[in-house]
Amino acid sequence: MKIKDRITGLKRIKAADLRPHPQNWRIHTQAQREALQGLLCEVGYADALIARQLPDKSYQLLDGHLRAETTPHTRVPVLVVDLDDAEAAKLLASLDSLASMAGSDPAQLDALLAGLKTDSAALSAMWEGMTSKVAEAIAPAEFKEIDETLETAYCCPKCGYRWSGSPGGAGDSDGDA
């Protein structure tokens, strides 16, 4: 697999001068804004925004919209990429989605969070929410495993959907719909 390096440089650009991508689909909650503000106050910038330069020499954001909104008067680190409209749209649609596909290791998360201290109530609330979301995603030990290779007795001739039970559905004792 050949992978192209599309990064043309790293620049410091005033965040207010970065134009939001008109197709940015992410919506940021107040809780997220406050958690980001807390992190920026306690840690600062440790990751670059991503933007592309347009023909009019302005820069269009592809990643980092909330960071730019949060610190409009700050010169922020920006990775400048050379992407056309279609490639920019692919990146915009994919970055957050790829990150959200990652799984979680609850023990590793607990160990990480156990040592963290913050003065930010928003960061603290975010971290507490992270542990509860991971806990919800894990089936309890007593959860009965289901054999997913069950044979099906019926098949819809129109769509091909397969199921077991009576052909007419729940409560159908004679098979009529």
Q: 76 and 67 in contact (C-beta within 8 Å)?
A: yes
pLDDT at res. 93: 94
Beta bridge partners of 79: 10, 50
Per-domain residue ranges of the chain: 7-102, 103-138
**Tens of pLDDT along 112-137?**
998 899 999 999 999 988 876 555 55
**Helix pair angle (121-137, 30-42), 10° resolution:** 120
**Residue ranges of the chain with per-residue pLDDT less than 50:** 175, 177
pLDDT at res. 143: 66
pLDDT at res. 15: 98
pLDDT at res. 99: 84
Q: Are strands 59-63 and 18-19 parallel, antiparallel or unpaired?
A: parallel
Looking at the domain that runs over 7-102, which CATH code has it been given?
3.90.1530.10
* Cα atoms found within 13 Å of the Cα of residue 130, Cβ hemisphere only: 21
pLDDT at res. 41: 94
Task: Read off the pTM.
Answer: 0.71
Residue from 127, 133, 104, 105 nearest 115 by CA: 127
pLDDT at res. 37: 95
Number of neighbours of residue 94 by Cβ within 10 angstroms:
11
Distance CA 9, CA 81 (A): 7
Q: 78 and 48 in contact (C-beta within 8 Å)?
A: yes
